[in-house]
Amino acid sequence: MKIAILGAGNLGLSIGKGLIMNNAYTSLYLTRRNTEDIQDYEDYSKVKVLSDNLEAVKNSDILIFAVQPTQLAGILEEIKDELSEKHVLISTVTGFKIPRMEKILEAEHFIIRAMPNTAIAVSKSMTCICSNEKGKKRIAIAEAIFNRLGTSIIIPENKMQAATVICASGVAFWMRLIRATTQGAVQLGFDAKDAQELSMQTCLGAASLLIESGRHPEEEIDKVTTPRGCTIEGLNEMEHNGLSSSLIKGIQASFKKINNISEN
Ligand SMILES: NC(=O)C1=CN([C@@H]2O[C@H](COP(=O)(O)OP(=O)(O)OC[C@H]3O[C@@H](n4cnc5c(N)ncnc54)[C@H](OP(=O)(O)O)[C@@H]3O)[C@@H](O)[C@H]2O)C=CC1
Ligand SMILES: O=C(O)[C@@H]1CCC=N1
């Protein structure tokens, strides 16, 4: 696959790193206007770093857009005359809907939206994918890319905002939970390094239990909560202080915000 990442910033570079680690391309173009900071990527085989989006588009089949929402319209305008039937457009841009892309491009193209998360840099992204009608014929390409970089599911476009909150912002939510449990462990006497290790691995183990067993979280909680034991004591105290409610309210607030961003 000849891939170009237009906008090799935080997310674009995370995708790039994942592709490089998986050797998942025949050529990889990384673009941004100031290329100085990412020039080192040319040390990797078949990777080219440049600021010329048109050259990247000409030499690639799969175009992954990872610029800020305010920057996408300009790039689409810039490249639209270079687009042909060989191109599959994959946008990771938050809140920029497919009909708006189609309007700018003024021609039918294979258009896919993908919402990965930053765990793509370690091939563990939960990526949600949707497409326009024409894009359905190429959606398997996007699935193939993102399944190498984690797990993907196809969803309708009207669920993309919700998916962004749960999966993309979700990385930040889970990080905060890991940090909080680390702080708790330090208070119980572990040094910071060990505390984080205990916290991270326990989080990974809990998620793996659910993924591998297919069971509901509450079933696993029942197995840990000894009657009158310490787990239920701690869990109930957390709930009295609004643990679940606080997480759900946070998710609602993010969702409200993302809907406002995309209207602007
Ligand atoms: N799924 C997720 O987990 C996340 C998704 N996002 C979404 O991903 C998108 C990118 O976010 P993020 O990576 O944080 O943003 P960054 O600002 O880090 O990256 C955007 C990059 O685009 C480059 N750029 C800007 N204009 C152009 C242009 N005309 N041609 C080529 N490159 C250009 C910028 O570099 P330069 O200025 O040098 O051109 C910059 O490196 C956003 O839409 C954001 O909402 C963001 C974070 C997480
Ligand atoms: O915080 C944001 O708005 C973007 C979208 C999802 C992750 N980062």
pLDDT at 262: 60
Report the C-alpha gap between 232 and 223 in whole angstroms: 11
Q: How far is the CA of 25 from the centre of ligand 1 (A)?
A: 21
Looking at the chain, the domain(s) classified CATH 3.40.50.720 span: 2-155
60 lines ligand 2 (CB under 6 A): no
- 196-206 pLDDT, tens per residue? 999 999 999 99
Ligand lying nearest the CA atom of residue 68: 1
Low-confidence ranges of the chain (pLDDT < 70): 262-264
Fold designation for 2-155: Rossmann fold (3.40.50)
User: Is the pTM of the predicted complex or chain greater than 0.90?
Assistant: yes
Looking at the chain, the domain(s) classified CATH 1.10.3730.10 span: 164-263
* The pair of three-digit structure tokens given for residue 203, joined into one six-digit string: 């989080």
pLDDT at 22: 87
CATH code: domain 164-263 is 1.10.3730.10
CB within 8 A of 78, min separation 6: which ones?
Answer: 53, 54
- 46-97 pLDDT, tens per residue? 999 999 999 999 999 999 999 999 999 999 999 999 999 999 999 999 989 9
Q: How far is the CA of 224 from the centre of ligand 2 (A)?
A: 34
164 lines ligand 2 (CB under 6 A): yes
For the annotated binding site for NADPH, the residues are 53
* Alpha carbon 144 to its chain's center: 15
| Residue located via tokens 């896919």 | 112
